[in-house]
Protein backbone atom coordinates (compact mmCIF):
# COMPACT_ATOMS: atom_id res chain seq x y z
CA UNK A 1 0.00 0.00 0.00
CA UNK A 2 1.16 3.53 -0.71
CA UNK A 3 2.28 5.62 2.26
CA UNK A 4 -0.37 8.14 3.34
CA UNK A 5 0.47 11.74 4.23
CA UNK A 6 -1.63 14.84 4.91
CA UNK A 7 -1.14 18.08 3.01
CA UNK A 8 -0.18 20.97 5.28
CA UNK A 9 0.56 23.84 2.86
CA UNK A 10 -0.31 24.62 -0.73
CA UNK A 11 2.84 26.20 -2.17
CA UNK A 12 2.19 26.98 -5.84
CA UNK A 13 0.42 25.67 -8.94
CA UNK A 14 2.42 23.98 -11.74
CA UNK A 15 0.90 25.79 -14.67
CA UNK A 16 2.66 23.71 -17.35
CA UNK A 17 0.47 20.74 -16.37
CA UNK A 18 -2.94 20.60 -18.05
CA UNK A 19 -4.56 19.26 -14.87
CA UNK A 20 -3.10 22.10 -12.78
CA UNK A 21 -1.11 19.95 -10.33
CA UNK A 22 0.26 21.83 -7.33
CA UNK A 23 3.41 21.78 -5.23
CA UNK A 24 2.27 20.91 -1.73
CA UNK A 25 4.03 20.32 1.60
CA UNK A 26 2.94 17.48 3.87
CA UNK A 27 3.02 16.44 7.51
CA UNK A 28 6.02 14.16 6.92
CA UNK A 29 7.99 17.34 6.01
CA UNK A 30 8.12 16.17 2.40
CA UNK A 31 7.31 18.26 -0.66
CA UNK A 32 5.07 16.68 -3.29
CA UNK A 33 3.47 17.34 -6.64
CA UNK A 34 -0.21 16.84 -5.90
CA UNK A 35 -2.64 15.57 -8.54
CA UNK A 36 -6.21 16.38 -7.63
CA UNK A 37 -9.28 14.15 -7.75
CA UNK A 38 -11.34 17.24 -8.58
CA UNK A 39 -9.40 17.96 -11.81
CA UNK A 40 -11.38 17.80 -15.05
CA UNK A 41 -9.42 14.77 -16.28
CA UNK A 42 -11.23 12.61 -13.71
CA UNK A 43 -10.24 9.91 -11.28
CA UNK A 44 -9.18 7.42 -14.00
CA UNK A 45 -6.15 9.59 -14.60
CA UNK A 46 -5.10 8.97 -11.01
CA UNK A 47 -5.79 5.24 -11.29
CA UNK A 48 -3.49 5.16 -14.33
CA UNK A 49 -0.82 7.13 -12.44
CA UNK A 50 -0.82 4.58 -9.63
CA UNK A 51 -0.90 1.39 -11.71
CA UNK A 52 1.66 2.50 -14.30
CA UNK A 53 3.85 4.34 -11.79
CA UNK A 54 4.01 1.38 -9.44
CA UNK A 55 4.61 -1.00 -12.35
CA UNK A 56 7.48 1.18 -13.56
CA UNK A 57 9.00 1.18 -10.09
CA UNK A 58 8.76 -2.61 -9.79
CA UNK A 59 10.50 -2.94 -13.18
CA UNK A 60 13.39 -0.80 -11.96
CA UNK A 61 12.56 2.32 -13.97
CA UNK A 62 13.11 5.64 -12.22
CA UNK A 63 9.89 7.31 -11.09
CA UNK A 64 9.44 9.61 -8.08
CA UNK A 65 7.74 7.91 -5.11
CA UNK A 66 3.94 8.02 -5.09
CA UNK A 67 1.91 8.62 -1.92
CA UNK A 68 -1.73 8.87 -0.92
CA UNK A 69 -2.35 12.47 0.07
CA UNK A 70 -5.18 13.69 2.28
CA UNK A 71 -6.36 17.21 1.58
CA UNK A 72 -8.43 19.55 3.72
CA UNK A 73 -9.37 22.32 1.25
CA UNK A 74 -8.97 24.82 4.08
CA UNK A 75 -5.22 24.92 3.36
CA UNK A 76 -5.99 26.77 0.14
CA UNK A 77 -8.14 29.51 1.64
CA UNK A 78 -5.49 32.18 1.21
CA UNK A 79 -4.76 31.13 -2.38
CA UNK A 80 -5.60 34.15 -4.57
CA UNK A 81 -6.22 32.24 -7.82
CA UNK A 82 -9.89 31.30 -8.14
CA UNK A 83 -9.16 28.33 -10.42
CA UNK A 84 -6.87 26.86 -7.74
CA UNK A 85 -9.42 27.61 -5.00
CA UNK A 86 -12.10 25.72 -6.91
CA UNK A 87 -9.82 22.79 -7.64
CA UNK A 88 -8.93 22.45 -3.96
CA UNK A 89 -12.57 22.76 -2.91
CA UNK A 90 -13.52 19.96 -5.32
CA UNK A 91 -10.70 17.71 -4.07
CA UNK A 92 -11.25 17.30 -0.32
CA UNK A 93 -10.16 13.86 0.93
CA UNK A 94 -7.81 11.48 -0.83
CA UNK A 95 -5.58 12.68 -3.68
CA UNK A 96 -2.32 11.52 -5.25
CA UNK A 97 1.10 12.87 -4.35
CA UNK A 98 4.38 12.38 -6.19
CA UNK A 99 7.71 13.16 -4.57
CA UNK A 100 8.85 16.56 -5.85
CA UNK A 101 12.27 16.51 -7.51
CA UNK A 102 13.76 19.93 -6.67
CA UNK A 103 15.97 21.40 -9.36
CA UNK A 104 14.92 18.89 -12.02
CA UNK A 105 14.47 20.12 -15.57
CA UNK A 106 12.37 18.84 -18.42
CA UNK A 107 14.03 16.28 -20.71
CA UNK A 108 15.17 17.71 -24.03
CA UNK A 109 16.11 15.22 -26.79
CA UNK A 110 18.44 17.77 -28.40
CA UNK A 111 20.39 18.32 -25.20
CA UNK A 112 20.60 14.89 -23.55
CA UNK A 113 21.88 11.52 -24.56
CA UNK A 114 20.07 8.34 -23.56
CA UNK A 115 21.68 4.97 -24.37
CA UNK A 116 19.84 2.38 -26.52
CA UNK A 117 19.31 0.08 -23.53
CA UNK A 118 17.61 2.68 -21.35
CA UNK A 119 15.68 4.06 -24.33
CA UNK A 120 14.55 0.52 -25.15
CA UNK A 121 13.29 -0.10 -21.61
CA UNK A 122 11.30 3.14 -21.57
CA UNK A 123 9.80 2.70 -25.07
CA UNK A 124 8.90 -0.93 -24.31
CA UNK A 125 7.26 0.09 -21.01
CA UNK A 126 5.30 2.87 -22.74
CA UNK A 127 4.14 0.34 -25.35
CA UNK A 128 2.88 -2.01 -22.63
CA UNK A 129 0.86 0.72 -20.92
CA UNK A 130 -0.04 2.35 -24.27
CA UNK A 131 1.36 5.73 -23.24
CA UNK A 132 0.51 8.36 -25.85
CA UNK A 133 2.02 11.18 -23.83
CA UNK A 134 5.82 10.88 -24.11
CA UNK A 135 6.48 12.69 -27.40
CA UNK A 136 9.11 15.38 -28.01
CA UNK A 137 6.28 17.90 -27.78
CA UNK A 138 5.54 16.77 -24.25
CA UNK A 139 8.27 14.39 -23.02
CA UNK A 140 6.95 13.90 -19.47
CA UNK A 141 10.45 12.99 -18.35
CA UNK A 142 12.63 14.98 -15.99
CA UNK A 143 16.40 15.09 -15.66
CA UNK A 144 17.48 15.10 -12.04
CA UNK A 145 21.05 14.63 -10.81
CA UNK A 146 21.97 13.52 -14.32
CA UNK A 147 19.38 10.74 -14.54
CA UNK A 148 16.14 10.52 -16.47
CA UNK A 149 12.96 10.19 -14.34
CA UNK A 150 9.53 9.27 -15.68
CA UNK A 151 6.44 11.29 -14.72
CA UNK A 152 2.82 11.68 -15.79
CA UNK A 153 1.19 8.36 -16.63
CA UNK A 154 -2.33 9.75 -16.66
CA UNK A 155 -2.85 9.31 -20.44
CA UNK A 156 -2.26 5.55 -20.62
CA UNK A 157 -4.30 2.33 -20.79
CA UNK A 158 -6.87 3.83 -23.16
CA UNK A 159 -8.91 0.62 -22.79
CA UNK A 160 -10.02 1.60 -19.27
CA UNK A 161 -12.27 4.24 -20.81
CA UNK A 162 -14.32 1.54 -22.58
CA UNK A 163 -14.20 -1.78 -20.74
CA UNK A 164 -16.45 -3.76 -23.13
CA UNK A 165 -13.91 -3.13 -25.91
CA UNK A 166 -10.84 -3.48 -23.70
CA UNK A 167 -9.53 -6.76 -25.10
CA UNK A 168 -9.65 -5.57 -28.72
CA UNK A 169 -8.17 -2.20 -27.80
CA UNK A 170 -5.30 -3.76 -25.85
CA UNK A 171 -4.44 -6.03 -28.79
CA UNK A 172 -3.59 -3.02 -30.94
CA UNK A 173 0.02 -2.20 -31.92
CA UNK A 174 2.01 0.73 -30.55
CA UNK A 175 3.37 3.38 -32.86
CA UNK A 176 6.51 4.78 -31.21
CA UNK A 177 7.56 7.02 -34.12
CA UNK A 178 6.55 10.10 -32.16
CA UNK A 179 8.16 8.92 -28.92
CA UNK A 180 10.71 11.33 -27.46
CA UNK A 181 13.31 8.52 -27.37
CA UNK A 182 12.61 7.16 -30.89
CA UNK A 183 15.81 8.68 -32.27
CA UNK A 184 18.07 7.09 -29.64
CA UNK A 185 17.97 3.64 -31.25
CA UNK A 186 15.88 1.98 -28.52
CA UNK A 187 16.86 -1.68 -28.10
CA UNK A 188 13.35 -3.01 -27.71
CA UNK A 189 14.20 -6.68 -28.14
CA UNK A 190 16.63 -6.62 -25.19
CA UNK A 191 14.20 -4.65 -23.06
CA UNK A 192 11.43 -7.15 -23.75
CA UNK A 193 13.71 -10.10 -23.00
CA UNK A 194 14.72 -8.52 -19.68
CA UNK A 195 11.43 -7.01 -18.50
CA UNK A 196 8.56 -9.06 -19.96
CA UNK A 197 9.24 -12.09 -17.70
CA UNK A 198 8.97 -9.78 -14.67
CA UNK A 199 5.42 -8.71 -15.54
CA UNK A 200 3.54 -11.59 -13.94
CA UNK A 201 -0.05 -11.86 -12.79
CA UNK A 202 1.21 -11.71 -9.18
CA UNK A 203 3.12 -8.50 -9.80
CA UNK A 204 0.16 -6.86 -11.55
CA UNK A 205 -2.16 -7.96 -8.75
CA UNK A 206 0.14 -6.28 -6.23
CA UNK A 207 0.37 -3.13 -8.32
CA UNK A 208 -3.41 -2.81 -8.78
CA UNK A 209 -3.88 -3.37 -5.04
CA UNK A 210 -2.17 0.00 -4.53
CA UNK A 211 -5.09 1.85 -6.14
CA UNK A 212 -7.36 3.27 -3.43
CA UNK A 213 -10.88 1.74 -3.40
CA UNK A 214 -12.35 5.25 -3.51
CA UNK A 215 -11.16 5.66 -7.12
CA UNK A 216 -12.56 2.32 -8.29
CA UNK A 217 -16.06 2.16 -6.80
CA UNK A 218 -19.22 2.26 -8.94
CA UNK A 219 -17.55 1.52 -12.27
CA UNK A 220 -20.37 0.39 -14.61
CA UNK A 221 -20.17 -3.35 -15.38
CA UNK A 222 -18.24 -4.30 -12.22
CA UNK A 223 -19.79 -5.48 -8.98
CA UNK A 224 -16.69 -4.96 -6.82
CA UNK A 225 -13.49 -2.98 -6.78
CA UNK A 226 -11.52 -6.22 -6.84
CA UNK A 227 -13.28 -7.29 -10.04
CA UNK A 228 -12.23 -3.99 -11.59
CA UNK A 229 -8.66 -4.48 -10.35
CA UNK A 230 -8.61 -7.87 -12.09
CA UNK A 231 -9.78 -6.21 -15.30
CA UNK A 232 -6.70 -3.99 -15.22
CA UNK A 233 -4.40 -7.02 -14.92
CA UNK A 234 -5.45 -8.84 -18.09
CA UNK A 235 -4.56 -6.32 -20.84
CA UNK A 236 -1.23 -5.43 -19.23
CA UNK A 237 -0.28 -9.08 -18.86
CA UNK A 238 -1.19 -9.81 -22.47
CA UNK A 239 0.66 -6.79 -23.84
CA UNK A 240 3.81 -7.42 -21.81
CA UNK A 241 4.12 -10.84 -23.46
CA UNK A 242 3.94 -9.81 -27.11
CA UNK A 243 3.88 -6.05 -27.64
CA UNK A 244 7.55 -5.94 -28.71
CA UNK A 245 6.45 -7.64 -31.95
CA UNK A 246 3.99 -4.83 -32.65
CA UNK A 247 5.97 -1.65 -31.95
CA UNK A 248 6.45 0.51 -35.03
CA UNK A 249 9.36 2.91 -35.17
CA UNK A 250 9.34 4.58 -38.59
CA UNK A 251 11.09 7.86 -39.25
CA UNK A 252 11.38 9.36 -35.76
CA UNK A 253 10.12 12.91 -35.40
CA UNK A 254 12.60 14.82 -33.28
CA UNK A 255 12.75 18.28 -34.76
CA UNK A 256 11.16 19.91 -31.77
CA UNK A 257 12.71 23.08 -30.48
CA UNK A 258 15.25 22.66 -27.68
CA UNK A 259 13.83 24.10 -24.48
CA UNK A 260 16.70 23.73 -22.01
CA UNK A 261 19.45 26.33 -22.03
CA UNK A 262 22.58 24.56 -23.29
CA UNK A 263 24.90 25.65 -20.48
CA UNK A 264 22.50 24.13 -17.95
CA UNK A 265 21.88 20.89 -19.81
CA UNK A 266 25.60 20.28 -20.34
CA UNK A 267 26.43 20.89 -16.70
CA UNK A 268 23.66 18.80 -15.22
CA UNK A 269 23.92 15.74 -17.43
CA UNK A 270 27.15 13.74 -17.47
CA UNK A 271 25.96 11.89 -20.59
CA UNK A 272 25.01 15.08 -22.44
CA UNK A 273 26.55 15.64 -25.83
CA UNK A 274 29.79 17.47 -25.28
CA UNK A 275 29.11 19.89 -28.08
CA UNK A 276 25.48 20.69 -27.97
CA UNK A 277 23.88 21.54 -31.29
CA UNK A 278 23.25 25.22 -31.58
CA UNK A 279 20.06 26.47 -33.17
CA UNK A 280 22.15 27.44 -36.20
CA UNK A 281 23.73 23.99 -36.61
CA UNK A 282 20.32 22.40 -36.28
CA UNK A 283 18.98 24.71 -38.95
CA UNK A 284 21.87 23.76 -41.31
CA UNK A 285 21.19 20.07 -40.64
CA UNK A 286 17.52 20.58 -41.44
CA UNK A 287 18.41 22.21 -44.75
CA UNK A 288 18.37 25.81 -43.56
CA UNK A 289 14.66 25.82 -42.81
N1 LIG B 1 7.87 14.95 -9.33
C2 LIG B 1 8.09 16.12 -9.92
N3 LIG B 1 9.15 16.89 -9.56
C4 LIG B 1 9.36 18.10 -10.16
N5 LIG B 1 8.57 18.62 -11.10
C6 LIG B 1 7.50 17.91 -11.50
C7 LIG B 1 7.20 16.62 -10.94
N8 LIG B 1 6.07 16.15 -11.51
C9 LIG B 1 5.69 17.08 -12.38
N10 LIG B 1 6.53 18.14 -12.39
C11 LIG B 1 6.42 19.36 -13.23
O12 LIG B 1 5.05 19.65 -13.41
C13 LIG B 1 4.69 19.59 -14.78
C14 LIG B 1 3.30 19.02 -14.90
O15 LIG B 1 3.28 17.71 -14.39
P16 LIG B 1 2.47 16.56 -15.15
O17 LIG B 1 2.96 16.44 -16.54
O18 LIG B 1 2.53 15.34 -14.32
O19 LIG B 1 1.01 17.19 -15.11
P20 LIG B 1 -0.25 16.98 -16.04
O21 LIG B 1 -1.30 17.91 -15.58
O22 LIG B 1 -0.57 15.54 -16.10
O23 LIG B 1 0.32 17.46 -17.41
P24 LIG B 1 -0.08 17.27 -18.92
O25 LIG B 1 -0.44 18.63 -19.37
O26 LIG B 1 1.20 16.76 -19.53
O27 LIG B 1 -1.18 16.25 -18.98
C28 LIG B 1 5.79 18.74 -15.43
O29 LIG B 1 5.95 19.03 -16.80
C30 LIG B 1 7.00 19.13 -14.62
O31 LIG B 1 7.54 20.35 -15.08
MG1 LIG C 1 2.68 16.24 -18.36
pLDDT band at 252 (very low <50, low <70, confident <90, very high): low
Protein residue with least CA distance to atom 26, ligand 1: 17
- pLDDT digit string (tens) for 68-93? 999 999 998 888 999 999 999 999 99
Number of residues assigned to the chain: 289
Ligand 1 binding pocket includes 252 (Cβ within 6 Å)? no
Which is the closest atom of ligand 1 to the Cα of 133? 26
In a domain, 267, yes or no: no
Q: Is the CB of 33 under 6 A from ligand 1?
A: yes
81 and 125 in a single domain? The answer is no
The rounded percent of the chain whose pLDDT value lies above 90 is 81
User: Would 284 be classed as within a structural domain?
Assistant: no
Quote the domain boundaries for residue 218: 106-248
User: Does any domain span residue 142?
Assistant: yes
Same domain, residue pair 88 and 136? no
128 inside domain: yes
Same domain, residue pair 62 and 112: no
Q: 188-193, long-range: CB within 8 Å, 24+ apart, which pairs?
A: 188/120, 188/123, 188/124, 188/127, 188/244, 188/247, 188/249, 189/120, 189/244, 190/117, 190/120, 191/117, 191/120, 191/121, 191/123, 191/124, 191/125, 191/244, 192/124, 192/243, 192/244
Domain boundary among 103, 129, 163: 103
- Mark whether 90 and 139 lie in a shared domain: no
Q: Are residues 167 and 223 in the same domain?
A: yes
Q: Does residue 282 fall inside a structural domain?
A: no
Name the band, by pLDDT with cuts 50, 70 and 90, for residue 271. Answer: very low
- Tell me if 52 sits within 8 A of 156, measured CB to CB: yes
Give the pLDDT band of residue 253 (cuts 50, 70, 90): low
Residue whose CA is at the smallest distance from ligand 1 atom 14: 17
Is residue 254 a part of any domain in this protein?
no
53 with 110, same domain: the answer is no
Provide the pLDDT confidence category of residue 24 given band limits of 50, 70 and 90. Answer: very high
Please give the pLDDT value at position 97.
98
Residues 71 and 172 in one domain: no
Give the mutation target among 12, 13, 17, 100 for probing the ligand 1 site: most ligand atoms within 8 A of CB: 17
- 106 Cβ inside 6 Å of ligand 1: yes
When divided into structural domains, the chain yields a total of 2
Q: Write out pLDDT tens, residues 122-151.
A: 999 999 999 999 998 999 999 999 999 999
Q: Angle, nearest 10°, between helix axes 116-129 and 188-195?
A: 70
Last residue in a domain, options 52, 68, 103:
103
Residue 16 near ligand 1, beta carbon < 6 Å: yes
Same-domain check for residues 51 and 169? no
- Closest residue CA from atom 28 of ligand 1: 17
Query: Which residue puts its alpha carbon closest to atom 27 of ligand 1?
Result: 18
pLDDT score recorded for residue 250: 80
Q: Is residue 263 part of a domain?
A: no
The answer to whether position 61 is within a domain reads yes
Residue 276: the pLDDT is 35
Please indicate, yes or no, whether residues 86 and 123 belong to a single structural domain of this protein: no
Query: Ligand 2 centre from 140 Cα, in Å?
Result: 5
224 and 164 in one domain? yes
Verify that 184 and 199 share a domain, yes or no: yes
pLDDT score for 258? 54
Domain shared by 123 and 217, yes or no: yes
Amino acid sequence: MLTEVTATRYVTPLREGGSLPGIVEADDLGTYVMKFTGAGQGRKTLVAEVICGQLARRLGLRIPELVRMQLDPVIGLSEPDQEVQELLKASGGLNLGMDYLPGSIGFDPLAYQVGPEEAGRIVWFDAVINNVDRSWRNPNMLVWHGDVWLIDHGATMIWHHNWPGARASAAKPYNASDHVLASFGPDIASAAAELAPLVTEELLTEVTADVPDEWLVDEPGFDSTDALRRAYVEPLLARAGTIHERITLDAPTTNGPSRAPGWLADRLTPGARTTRRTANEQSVKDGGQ
